[in-house]
Amino acid sequence: MNLSIFFEPLPEDPFGYPEHPKSVGSYIAPFVHSFPDWRSAEIVLIGLPEYRGAAHPTELTYQGPNKIREQLYRLMKGTGTWLVMDLGNLLPGIHLEDTYLRLKEVIEILVDAGKFPILLGGSHDLTYGQFLGYEHLSKTVNLVVVDSQLDMATEERATPELSHLHRILLHEPTYLFGFSHVGHQAYLTEASTLAALEKLHFELFRVGQVHQQIKELEPVMRQADLVSFDVAAIRHQDAPGQQHANPFGLTGEEACQLCWYAGQNNQLSSLGFYGYRPELDYRHLTATTLATMVWYSIEGYHQRLPTMDFQSNQFLRFSVGFHDNPNKMLFYKSRHAEKWWMQVEDLSGQRPPMVVPCSYQDYLTAADGEVPNRWILMQARL
């Protein structure tokens, strides 16, 4: 399919003239005059200037994706090949639902072709279109959302931006296997919503947990097929350009760390950044924060491990036994990186064992004779 029919080109100034020969802009092929040959890329950037799912969309400039690009193109190129192409901005549909379906088709094509799309949004409800792009796959997927609250509103007057997560969880046919929510703040989230998600054996991490043990989030990001990052998860000091600005939240450094983890994930096939409001952005601070997060995502991508064969000599194998149970729990550690996995058995015997990401702390917990909570949650979903 000719993807160019879905996109509008970027303005020649400033995207047609890189400022520095070693800058990111010098290594990205943007859609300015002719549509780039995306099939030869590893990573593709897509702008989503769609805000109809947010409150008061008529007050917006719709320049969010381009403002992020301006800051990203000025950064210095990192390591790796940087085979990145910028497809420009997705043309919105006549109705918001049309935009979701258009985004679905684009994601489907790119993921099938083995490309890694990075989405520059747009309101957070566009996560729904990103998620729909996986409906055609003959497998279930894992979704990670980073946000200050859970967008599970069910009121009739609620905007799509505040209710899209509820729509994803209820989508039929269901192909969502795992869901993790990172960075929520308890005083912005209904306790009943948290309880309902916990009953479904989903993982929920408060912003305080991220502050205290951010390394424990690495296995969470490593298990995702798609990640949705709302800028509302970041505190106002580092990202003022958002509708729900809050003095509390992730720091810019923590946000970049999570993006670094996500980029390194071999399984991750799309990453979306949402909620940026340029008209509220003081001195382009939020655009700079988001551009740096994209930079770390791309850097992480170039640090991905080769195809994993847990029976090869690339991994160390650890077997942990329990005194009151004859079964043993198996762990694997990469010889090349500080990454751990554990084998989870289906106690019903209907499915083969799964090897899933875990942390060193999970191994220590098992070695102390306790079953890691991550193992329990995963086993419950099998």
Instruction: Look at residue 326 and tell me whether its pLDDT is greater than 70.
Output: no
- Contact between 51 and 124 (Cβ < 8 Å): no
* Position 342 in a domain: yes
Given 276, 301, 326, the domain boundary residue is: 301
Instruction: Look at residue 216 and tell me whether its pLDDT is greater than 80.
Output: yes
- Phi, psi angles (nearest 5°) of residue 320: -115, 125
Residue 356, SS3?
strand
Name which of 314, 317, 320, 379 is nearest 350 in CA terms: 379
pLDDT-derived band at 41, boundaries 50, 70, 90 = very high
CA distance 222 to 281: 31
CA distance 78 to 283: 25
Classify residue 330 by its DSSP letter.
E
The residue whose two tokens read 């549509």 is 35
Q: What value does the mean pLDDT take over residues 150-167?
A: 94
- In this structure, are 332 and 241 located in the same domain? no
- In this structure, are 67 and 37 located in the same domain? yes
* Position 361 in a domain: yes
Given 269, 301, 333, the domain boundary residue is: 301
Instruction: Look at residue 175 and tell me whether its pLDDT is greater than 90.
Output: yes
- In this structure, are 283 and 346 located in the same domain? no
Instruction: Look at residue 324 and tell me whether its pLDDT is greater than 90.
Output: no
- Contact between 257 and 297 (Cβ < 8 Å): no
Instruction: Look at residue 118 and tell me whether its pLDDT is greater than 70.
Output: yes
Instruction: Look at residue 379 and tell me whether its pLDDT is greater than 80.
Output: yes
* Position 68 in a domain: yes
- In this structure, are 290 and 325 located in the same domain? no
* Position 307 in a domain: no
* Position 215 in a domain: yes
User: What is the total count of domains within the chain?
Assistant: 2
* Residue that wins the pLDDT comparison between 20 and 258: 258
Report residue 56 as tokens: 């008061």
Q: What is the CATH number of the domain that holds 113?
A: 3.40.800.10
* Position 310 in a domain: no
* Residue that wins the pLDDT comparison between 13 and 307: 13
* Position 306 in a domain: no
Instruction: Look at residue 183 and tell me whether its pLDDT is greater than 70.
Output: yes
Classify residue 75 by its DSSP letter.
S
- In this structure, are 247 and 200 located in the same domain? yes
Structural domain range at position 325: 315-381
Given 277, 301, 325, the domain boundary residue is: 301
Residues in the chain: 382
| Residue 350 pLDDT | 79
- In this structure, are 95 and 190 located in the same domain? yes
Catalogue the long-range contacts made by 90-99 (C-beta closer than 8 Å, 24 or more residues apart).
Answer: 90/6, 90/7, 90/46, 90/47, 90/48, 90/49, 90/50, 91/6, 91/7, 91/8, 92/49, 92/50, 92/52, 96/50, 96/52, 96/53, 96/125, 96/160, 99/50, 99/52, 99/126, 99/129
- In this structure, are 189 and 331 located in the same domain? no
pLDDT, tens only, 51-91: 999 987 766 678 999 999 999 999 999 988 889 999 999 99
End-to-end CA distance of the chain: 37
